Chain A
Amino acid sequence: MTDETTAATTPSGSKPSGTIPSGEPLLSVRGVSKYFAGGSSGLLGRRGKPIKAVDGVSFSVDQGQTLGLVGESGCGKSTTGRVISKLLEPTAGEIRFNGRDIAGLKPREMRSYRSEIQMIFQDPFSSLNPRHTVGTIVGAPFRIQGVKPEHGIKAEVQSMMERVGLNPEHYNRYPHEFSGGQRQRIGIARALALRPKLIVCDEPVSALDVSVQAQVVNLLEDLQQEFGVAFVFIAHDLSVVRHIADRVAVMYLGKIMEIADRDTLYSEPLHPYTHALMSAVPVPDPRKERRRERILLTGDLPSPSNPPTGCVFHTRCQKFREELTAVQQDRCRTELPMLTEKAPGHEVYCHFPAPRAGLTDLLNTGVSA
């Protein structure tokens, strides 16, 4: 995709961040945390302990690339998404977008960045104003940012609608007149209206039927190709993330456990939590299912206001339970694991990272049915 194409399709309006020096990532997140104040507790109404929803998270996203952020409920992935798009203010850390640290920017200062960082949400119903027509919804970004496209907002909106697979004649319809998949397309059209550099997608396909999910995933991939937009794709479905992401980060209880290129993570994961996650995903192949090893995690997710000491995963870790010596276990209980770079680009936060044989067999296509 050439600069010419971008210039031809971009509506007029200058962007605050200019161009980034080559080689630098589009988005660079360092040590970002988000703590929520705990409710009051005790007879004296003392403040409860803070809820560490996101605790010291670091990753980067290159231009036009997709970072998948996976994890289960309570891992902090959605909160991370909201923090990097500044819908929530970070408690700590640095968020460098296009070379500029936006972590400390006030909402007023962030305004101009809103044309460059957008969001798509999970629930296609509640993320669209039911009293606005599609035309108003998708046209709003232009009005808010004061951008005047060459042929007018309506023409631009209709062109966008067509691009995402909606009928431009439905410009005056309301969200309730569309199906779930179509409403999600409206959300995508709105997010893309000002040609942002980055879109944070928070579980964009989880609420959709299986046959429609594939349509929306394909659409996002096509749009990325055409507009060069980067995605932070937040999801709990490992199969979908594998399909769309270039790099994947696995989160647990507010921290990143492992981060690697997509192919590396899915062929040789090294963190016990990643192993547990992958071994839990059911695969539509009955013979494989009958033969595979299933790692079952014990216990419940600890409270984020009272996370375990040392490695936050040690209380449920199957490796901790089954393979480590007492001395090694002590280390997991007391020492926070530091980043280990096992291979270029493959970072693991574990004292004893190692591949797991049975899982590797399953994930690699050589397994015969």
Chain B
Amino acid sequence: MSSTLPSPAIRADGRKRAFLEVNDLRVHFPTADGLVKSVDGLSFDLERGEILGIVGESGSGKSVTSLAILGLHKGSNAKVTGEIWLDGREIVGATEDEVRELRGSEMGMIFQDPLSSLHPFYSVGTQISEAYLVHTKVSKKDAKAEAIRMLEKVGIPNAPGRYNDYPHQFSGGMRQRAMIAMALICKPRLLIADEPTTALDVTVQAQILELIKELHDELNSAVILITHDLGVVAETCDKVLVMYGGQCVEKGRVDELFYEPEMPYTWGLLRSMPRMDRDRQTRLTPIPGSPPSLINVPSGCVFNTRCPFTDRVDGDKCRTEHPNLELGVTPGHAVRCHIPAAQRQEIWLTEISPSL
């Protein structure tokens, strides 16, 4: 007799579960205008020590995904289905209290705008100590000492002095560092950073990304870095997942994605970015149109309305049939596209790569 409950340690196919495992995640929001399918069938794995970049534009579903992993849709009217396994604990089915306990201790998070994530009325140091006290049984004095230690670790000069400062007294880069201190003080094994450097200057971004990498090395944590910036992905990530219209359209190791991408949307992103390290093109190649509405997701392949390569596929498949995510030549590199694999590789080598 097989048990009807999924095992925390073993997948349905007998393999061992990954540290973070997301299976067929769907997050739908019923609204007056219709059902918004923010995330519609997302699956991926992440082990400790790996940094995964989730890339997408507005409306791709990347932020909603991270909120689902953090269990932050509970209590809202979102309909979440699928499974999210974090070190053997299933999150979609867990209660709000159970997930709250995991946040902070097992999962740390950093958001784009630290000014709105830090409480303006409490000193930065107090907020960090509090994050520690919630999950650890220590005295207030010890928590304060640990908070100061973390502030030093993230590079805040004169940490004991700045402990009592308020968020508005910190610069943007320092606030982000304070957020990182708060996220990591309980040594979580999963860190989710949602556009952590988008609002920061480029030189500050470089410092913050360096800091995230250092701390990730030290804790051997799993990191999910959500961004729209492919340069940031190339700089920091081991694995990449490209989202479009609430779905994963390509995923693989970072080198595969940049040197052997196979999905037209990924090509489009690479071609539309001006870059500093290549000969200047006389004209950028944008992706025509704009990201789709998540209420009226295009039928068939979600990218077909903007894809310049639908003519390489027989018949009307791109518009009528939803392509599955299929594993490519290299294990772990998966693509969701109707164009036959050999042809995709050829298009990349002969048409796209030379134009970059």
Seen from chain A, the residues whose Cβ lies within 8 Å of a Cβ on chain B are 72-73, 179, 181, 209-215, 217-218, 221, 236, 238-240, 242-243, 266, 276-289, 294, 296-297, 299-301, 362-363, 365, 367, 369
Q: Which of A73, A179, A266, A288 contacts B201 (CB 8 A)?
A: A73
Complex CA gap A119/B44 in Å reads: 46
Complex CA gap A362/B277 in Å reads: 6
Complex CA gap A239/B202 in Å reads: 12
Q: Which of A215, A276, A283, A294 contacts B277 (CB 8 A)?
A: A283
B234/A284 in contact, CB under 8 A: yes
A296/B210 in contact, CB under 8 A: yes
B291: chain A residues within 8 A (beta carbon):
209, 211
Complex CA gap A357/B105 in Å reads: 45
Mask, B176-211, CB within 8 Å of A = 1, is 000000000000000000000000011111110110
B203: chain A residues within 8 A (beta carbon):
72, 276-277, 280, 296-297
Given contacts A236-B201, A236-B202, A209 and B276 within 8 Å (CB-CB): no
B202: chain A residues within 8 A (beta carbon):
72, 236, 238, 277, 280-281
A294/B206 in contact, CB under 8 A: yes
B228/A280 in contact, CB under 8 A: no
Q: Is B275 close to A, CB under 8 A?
A: yes
Q: Is B64 close to A, CB under 8 A?
A: no
Main secondary structure of the interface of A (DSSP, over half): helix
B174/A300 in contact, CB under 8 A: yes
Q: Is B328 close to A, CB under 8 A?
A: no
Q: Which of A213, A282, A296, A369 contacts B235 (CB 8 A)?
A: A282
Seen from chain B, the residues whose Cβ lies within 8 Å of a Cβ on chain A are 57-58, 157, 171-174, 201-207, 209-210, 228-235, 254-255, 258-259, 268-270, 272-281, 283-288, 290-291
Complex CA gap A266/B127 in Å reads: 43
Min distance, Cβ B78 to any Cβ of chain A, angstroms: 24
**6 pairs from A and B in contact (CB 8 Å cutoff):** A211-B269, A214-B272, A266-B276, A276-B203, A282-B206, A282-B231
The chain B residue sitting closest to A216, CB to CB, is B286
A221: chain B residues within 8 A (beta carbon):
283
Complex CA gap A210/B271 in Å reads: 10
A210/B274 in contact, CB under 8 A: no
Min distance, Cβ A209 to any Cβ of chain B, angstroms: 4
Q: Which of B174, B229, B258, B274 contacts A217 (CB 8 A)?
A: B274
Complex CA gap A218/B271 in Å reads: 13
Complex CA gap A214/B276 in Å reads: 15
B283: chain A residues within 8 A (beta carbon):
218, 221
B273: chain A residues within 8 A (beta carbon):
210, 214, 239, 284
A210/B206 in contact, CB under 8 A: no
Complex CA gap A297/B200 in Å reads: 14
Complex CA gap A160/B133 in Å reads: 61
19 more contacts with CB within 8 A, not counting A281-B276, A286-B235, A294-B210, are A209-B57, A211-B268, A211-B269, A211-B290, A214-B287, A217-B274, A221-B283, A242-B276, A243-B280, A266-B276, A279-B206, A280-B206, A282-B235, A287-B255, A288-B234, A288-B277, A289-B234, A296-B207, A296-B210
Min distance, Cβ A171 to any Cβ of chain B, angstroms: 20
Task: Identify which of B157, B254, B273 gathers the most chain A CB atoms within 10 Å of its CB.
Answer: B273
Complex CA gap A294/B232 in Å reads: 13
Task: Identify which of B173, B206, B207 gathers the most chain A CB atoms within 10 Å of its CB.
Answer: B206
Min distance, Cβ A355 to any Cβ of chain B, angstroms: 16
Q: Which of A209, A286, A300 contacts B171 (CB 8 A)?
A: A300
A217: chain B residues within 8 A (beta carbon):
274, 284
B278: chain A residues within 8 A (beta carbon):
365
Complex CA gap A274/B171 in Å reads: 22
Query: Closest 5 interchain pairs by CB?
Result: A282-B231, A214-B286, A72-B201, A214-B272, A211-B287
Complex CA gap A284/B272 in Å reads: 12
Complex CA gap A296/B203 in Å reads: 7
A363: chain B residues within 8 A (beta carbon):
276-277
A286/B258 in contact, CB under 8 A: yes
A285/B234 in contact, CB under 8 A: yes
Given contacts A210-B269, A296-B210, A278 and B276 within 8 Å (CB-CB): yes
A179: chain B residues within 8 A (beta carbon):
290
A287: chain B residues within 8 A (beta carbon):
255
Min distance, Cβ A41 to any Cβ of chain B, angstroms: 16
B229: chain A residues within 8 A (beta carbon):
210, 282
The chain B residue sitting closest to A75, CB to CB, is B201
Complex CA gap A73/B284 in Å reads: 26
Min distance, Cβ A190 to any Cβ of chain B, angstroms: 21
A297: chain B residues within 8 A (beta carbon):
203, 207
The chain B residue sitting closest to A239, CB to CB, is B274
The chain B residue sitting closest to A72, CB to CB, is B201
Min distance, Cβ B283 to any Cβ of chain A, angstroms: 6
A72: chain B residues within 8 A (beta carbon):
201-204
A209/B228 in contact, CB under 8 A: yes
